[in-house]
Amino acid sequence: MTQESQLARLGLFDAKVPRYTSYPTAPHFSNELGMDRFASWIHAIKPGAEISLYLHVPFCRRLCWFCACRTQGTQSDSPVRAYIEVLKQEIALLAQHLPEGVTLSRLHWGGGTPTLLTPDLITELAEAVFAVTPMAPRGEFSVEIDPNEFDDARLDALAAAGMNRASIGVQDFDPKIQETIGRIQPFEMTRDAVEMIRARGITSLNADILFGLPHQTRARMTESVQKLLSLSPDRVALYGYAHVPWMARRQNMIPTDSLPSPQDRLRLFETAQRLFLWDGYREIGIDHFATADDGLSIAQRTGKLRRNFQGYTDDQSDVLIGLGASSISRFPQGYAQNAPSTSAYTKAIRNDTFATGRGHVFQGDDSLRGRMIEMLMCDFEIRSDEILSQFHIAPAVLTALYRDAASAFPEMLEVSPEGLRIRPEGKALTRMIARHFDAYDLSKAGHSSAI
Ligand SMILES: C[S@@+](CC[C@H](N)C(=O)[O-])C[C@H]1O[C@@H](n2cnc3c(N)ncnc32)[C@H](O)[C@@H]1O
Ligand code: SF4
């Protein structure tokens, strides 16, 4: 049997599985969390701890048809200005609850398009954050950058604020694909953005590209990846295009018959993967590539790679606070999500209360299963010694869990005294294998195709 038919037999081309940036996944959050519990989790942070902070800017000037992110189009600065005022108020509210001496190991601005902020708003927002929590000595401040919504003045403001990692949205360089996905971005525009960023001494550069886009062929994928490699990013996220028009209505602009089949998606992924590996990049988890000296590669080599709502990270802090509409926070005790709509979020913050909506308190074996799933997603293995030393589970019960997974994915998994390992030929199934360790109702689990 060929490898592809083996993967087909195991359901890779039909399954819909979560991306496991959390466990349980967001559809399992309940409405009952409440802002008091969120505040109590903030109080429980150790004084002097390093934490991560995520700020969400849910606005864009252009609304790309392919995009599944929750974002609002605006040509005017006034709603953006009003939103930043509310975000600053939320930061001030956080300051009232945060223990002494907390610093930031990571600060990430995402969206939407944070680069649509005017230079004065960028400066104001950064000052508001750093007045409450300064960056830790080796902290990283990263910002999602749309090259189409970017200029010297905004970059100068970001660099002056301390941005030291840029994440650029590319998707694909092919003009026909760009036209079909409603995102025109000539190669020269991306190249210029990269040069502007490097000219400010910001050398850490991530780029997002997609496989599975309409009209994407292996030849087009090859050309786009080679163009991207000519810009030498130190990290690349190679995400599978999620076509979910029932959730992101503008994707209806993309004709379904222009989309590659699931089998072709796998070939497109493998084409890009081969090119990155040939060029000396390391493969990080299921969808990232990084140069050998990048923090993600180092974390992978040392068993410290982690996964959170922003994907893969080398950040070791166990608290990630998300501010802004729809943002999700993670604590050792559970998850808390802000109200998703900008109006509900604004109303809560203007009333001087947190905007906590849905969330989840870890219970039962959530933390155990969450860690096993994270290990699979990061390292393609579960190390028994780590699990047994951190969680109350009998060795025999753990081995029974492994054997159950191994029988569901014959020839793809290896069970040994050290633990469970996904064989190289089974790596494409990683999210499906992770789902095997998910104890929640799988019908609610998520809609993204397994490849
Ligand atoms: C929230 S967007 C912000 C990027 C920034 N606004 C820009 O346009 O460059 C972050 C990334 O999400 C990814 N993304 C958006 N929609 C997606 C989809 N339908 N499937 C897979 N990835 C998607 C894209 O790779 C995008 O660069
Ligand atoms: S890809 Fe970026 S610019 Fe385009 S709609 Fe999504 S968030 Fe906005």
Model confidence pLDDT, tens digit, residues 73-119: 999 999 999 999 999 999 999 999 999 999 999 999 999 999 999 99
**Tokens describing residue 63:** 């609304």
Residue 242 Cα: closest atom of ligand 1:
20
CA–centroid distance, 112 to ligand 1, in Å, is 8
pLDDT at 334 over 60: yes
31 CB contacts (<8 Å, ≥6 apart)? 357, 358
pLDDT at 445 over 60: no
CA–centroid distance, 394 to ligand 1, in Å, is 42
Tell me what the mean pLDDT of segment 324-331 comes to: 97
438: exposed, middle or buried (Cβ count in 10 Å: 0-12, 13-18, 19+): buried
pLDDT band of 288, cuts 50, 70, 90: very high
Residue 171 Cα: closest atom of ligand 1:
25
Helix (H) or strand (E) holding 295: helix 295-301
pLDDT band of 432, cuts 50, 70, 90: very high
101: exposed, middle or buried (Cβ count in 10 Å: 0-12, 13-18, 19+): exposed
Q: How far is CA 244 from the centre of its chain?
A: 18
Pairing state of beta strands 413-416 and 419-422? antiparallel
pLDDT at 53 over 60: yes
Length of the chain counted residue by residue: 451
Per-residue model confidence (pLDDT) at position 447: 64
Contact assessment for residue 17 and residue 445, using Cβ atoms and an 8 Å cutoff: yes
Q: In what order do the strands lie in the sheet with 282-284?
A: 282-284, 288-290, 235-240, 204-211, 165-171, 135-145, 103-111, 50-57, 320-323, 328-331, 334-338, 356-361
Per-residue model confidence (pLDDT) at position 34: 86
**Ligand in closest contact with the CA of 183:** 2
Per-residue model confidence (pLDDT) at position 12: 94
According to DSSP, residue 365 is labeled T
According to DSSP, residue 241 is labeled P
Q: Which of 449, 399, 393, 4 is nearest to 240 (CA)?
A: 449
Residue 66 Cα: closest atom of ligand 1:
19
Helices 78-97 + 342-350 axis angle, to 10: 50
**Ligand in closest contact with the CA of 242:** 1
Give pTM, 2 decimals.
0.96
194: exposed, middle or buried (Cβ count in 10 Å: 0-12, 13-18, 19+): buried
Tell me what the mean pLDDT of segment 263-268 comes to: 97
What is the tens place of the pLDDT at every residue in 124-156? Answer: 999 999 999 999 999 999 999 999 999 999 999
**Tokens describing residue 219:** 């030849």
pLDDT band of 443, cuts 50, 70, 90: confident
CA–centroid distance, 169 to ligand 1, in Å, is 7
What residues does 108 pair with on adjacent strands? Answer: 54, 142
Q: Which residues line ligand 1 (CB under 6 A)?
A: 66-69, 111, 113, 144, 146, 169, 171, 208, 210, 239, 241-242
Helix (H) or strand (E) holding 349: helix 342-350
Contact assessment for residue 372 and residue 383, using Cβ atoms and an 8 Å cutoff: no
To the nearest whole percent, how much of the chain has pLDDT over 90?
Answer: 95
Contact assessment for residue 234 and residue 228, using Cβ atoms and an 8 Å cutoff: no
Give the DSSP per-residue string, 120-163.
HHHHHHHHHHHHHSPEEEEEEEEEEE-TTS--HHHHHHHHHHT-
Average pLDDT, the chain: 96
